[in-house]
Amino acid sequence: MVSRIFNAQGELIAEYADEYRILTPMPEIPNLVKNAFLAAEDEHFYEHPGINPGRILAAAIANLKAGHSVQGASTITQQVAKNFLLTREKSYIRKAKEALLAWQIEQTFTKDEILYLYLNHIFLGRGSYGVAAAAWRYFHKNLDELTLGEAAMLAGLPKAPSRYAPHLNLERAIQRRNTILYQLKHSGLASARDVNLALNEPLIIKPLAKRKLTNAYASLVHNTLVDKFGKATLRRQGLTIIVPYDESVENAAIKAVHHGVLNVERLQAYRTPKHHEPTKWNQLLQTWKTQHNGKLMVRDALFPALVQEVQADGRLLVHDGSQTWLISPPKWKWQADINAEKEQPNTKHTPSYWKPGDEVVLRADGQGGVSLSQQPSVQSALYSIDLHKGTVLARVGGYHFKFGDFDRVSQAKRQPGSSFKPFLYTTALEKGYTPATIVVDAPIVFSGGSTDDFWRPENYGNRFAGPVTLRNALEHSRNLVAIRVLQDIGVNTFLHRLRDYPFEQRFPKQLALALGVAEVTPEHLIESYVVIASGGLKYKPVAVQQVQDRNGQTLHRSVAGNRCQVCHADPVFAVNESMRPAERILDPVDAFLIQNMMTGVIKRGTARKAVGKHFKRPAAGKTGTTNKQVDAWFIGFTPQVLTGVWVGKDNPSPMGRKATGGGVAAPIWLETMQAIHKNREVKDFQVPEHGIEWASIDYKTGLLAGANTQYPFLEAFREGTAPTQISGQHTASPSASPHQKPNFFDTEL
């Protein structure tokens, strides 16, 4: 039986089945459907004892005259016997067994019970078994919505499903339908008037429904169901499944990832194109012409083109099979030809120009224009969570991810870089730090016991700001401050605290942990951010809300811990792990303080350029970039939605100096979050009712703002921890100002 997945609005978005079958009780099968199959397969079904001697004789005579089999003699009961109890072997012995079993079936079951088995199990083509599944897969209709002509078409399929399949041969299917309609009229199972109307009825076949549940979200749902119920149950037991899926949100996230990845690809070296000799050009262009299908109007669609001429000014005249384009002189760094360099090490073989016959890739802008591109060597993962409902909003497993592919959300283990720092600074807040605590951003060297064994961590750009507040350090991702903070609170303290977050792993005992050197999956990292974004609550975001069996009995119900109300009132309901209340692992005051500090990353810090200028609502987040720009992250949230983005290559390697968290991951986050928040109310982060006090401080010194403070800043503190000393006169540099652009080398970007 078919297991069907619906979204919260009741829309069918996916199906799982070995055989597409929808069991339908006999009273729910309309008479016109029953009569159509009786007329086609066994007009005297309710009169014979399981076999029809008259029909056998008539079939034998017809087949003898024709010299081959042209007419069948099996009754519906015999077909049930064959389908349930016998093989497909064609022999007189099998036919004798079939007749004997048919007689025994008739002694055991009523006629209606036999017809029920037949109508629910007969193969009708297009993967469908039974009339209800066929009605849906051919017409997208329930049985009670079928017309007489449609019922007659289905009734004509058992004889030869592939031969009479309407999506394969419409004319032949109509002829077969009309034959069944005449049989209905002749047998008196349908009126002449109804048959005449049905004969003139157009036969409109619907395409198979496109699966709307897609990408890594589909993989998550499938894996969750298989883990809980097993693959056999999922594909054979006709489950009804409700998931919190929004197709428009998922598609927006997919488009954002595609767009962002192709933009990052422009930072990569151009790979040597495939070259075609002139004798093959015409055939190649004809092949490409048939593959366009309107791709030009789809943003970020990629399609091949052939360089026909390289003009004197460097412009490329290219043809995609449909039209010619004149491309501006490409400013693309070429990738070294490794094989050529191996053959002749002392000769430079790196190409620096295009030539006629080169196959290139064009990227559509969605408005009728194109630009030069190439198939991406870069990948990305995106995971979005509805913080209000506690449900999964979107998951993208990679560029052009397909079901069964490597899911980078849950399977890729990458270093988080500076996106790991909020967990460190949250722990520091718990240990007495405040957002205004001063820490020195200056060089530091750790000796390993010999002159050749030392560790000298650096800031991005190797520039240092001196004494800065904890807020400033987070906003501008100052590595040396993070290391000093970890050194002060203790590695063991931080490791112990990390166990409370849903990372599901142990971390190395080393100071470099402050810089996010340990590998984590995007899923675990982003779900750990849920704790910060939700005010200190830990829970597993829900992807499968409810599962019922084919009889309507609820097998599973899941409500995110921060949303479950009724289940918490009754301990019996709460026994289910998926219904337990959320676990508070962070004080709401500390959660708000780190949230408030992270808003500065977007307003003034490493995400200001990519996000802060364009996202006009309260938001908090953190960028992350690992050494040599191998991994780039941006994880950010509003009071309603948390979204995390990773960008990198599957074989960890540098993406280029500009490929930072703020430069390549944040734009994907921005496009996705703009789409998600399009119709959402603008909300600010909720301040805890108790435990927070506010003070106007000097952004540079962290002390109370004085009369001469150049850059006063309203800061949040845990009650009783705000500074009491008033700042003297200070001349702050632009990098220390909360209102001016930070120095390029002081930031991670």
List strand residue ranges (DSSP E) for 650-743, in order.
692-698, 712-718
Tell me phi and psi for residue 108, to 5 degrees.
-100, -40
Angle 392-395-396 (CA atoms, 0-180°, nearest 5)?
175
């009229």: which residue's tokens?
185
- Report how far apart the first and last C-alpha atoms of the chain are (Å, whole number): 53
* C-alpha to C-alpha distance for 387 and 532, rounded to whole angstroms: 11
* C-alpha to C-alpha distance for 742 and 10, rounded to whole angstroms: 50
Helices (H), 67-209: 76-85, 92-108, 111-121, 131-139, 148-155, 170-187, 192-199
- Residue 299 token pair: 């943003």
* C-alpha to C-alpha distance for 551 and 733, rounded to whole angstroms: 71
Catalytic residues: 41, 418
Provide the residue type at 36 as one letter. A
Under a CB-based contact definition with an 8 Å cutoff, are residues 161 and 123 in contact?
A: yes
Closest C-alpha to 17, from 33, 38, 1, 39: 1
- Residue 348 token pair: 């430079």
Tell me phi and psi for residue 694, to 5 degrees.
-115, 145
Helix (H) or strand (E) holding 308: strand 302-310
Closest C-alpha to 638, from 670, 664, 606: 670
547 forms beta bridges with 241, 556
List strand residue ranges (DSSP E) for 523-609, in order.
537-538, 546-548, 554-557, 583-584
Q: CB-based burial of residue 351 (10 Å sphere; 0-12 exposed, 13-18 middle, 19+ buried)?
A: middle
């820490």: which residue's tokens?
439
Helix (H) or strand (E) holding 632: strand 631-637
Provide the residue type at 408 as one letter. R
Cβ-Cβ contacts under 8 Å for 217 (sequence gap 6 or more): 245, 250, 392, 394, 395, 543
Half-sphere exposure of 126 (CA within 13 A, CB side): 24
Under a CB-based contact definition with an 8 Å cutoff, are residues 607 and 630 in contact?
A: no
Query: DSSP letter string over 409-432?
Result: TTT--B--GGGGHHHHHHHHHHTT
Closest C-alpha to 529, from 674, 397, 646, 441: 646
Under a CB-based contact definition with an 8 Å cutoff, are residues 98 and 13 in contact?
A: no
Cβ-Cβ contacts under 8 Å for 114 (sequence gap 6 or more): 76, 77, 80, 105, 106
* C-alpha to C-alpha distance for 30 and 154, rounded to whole angstroms: 13
């692992």: which residue's tokens?
585
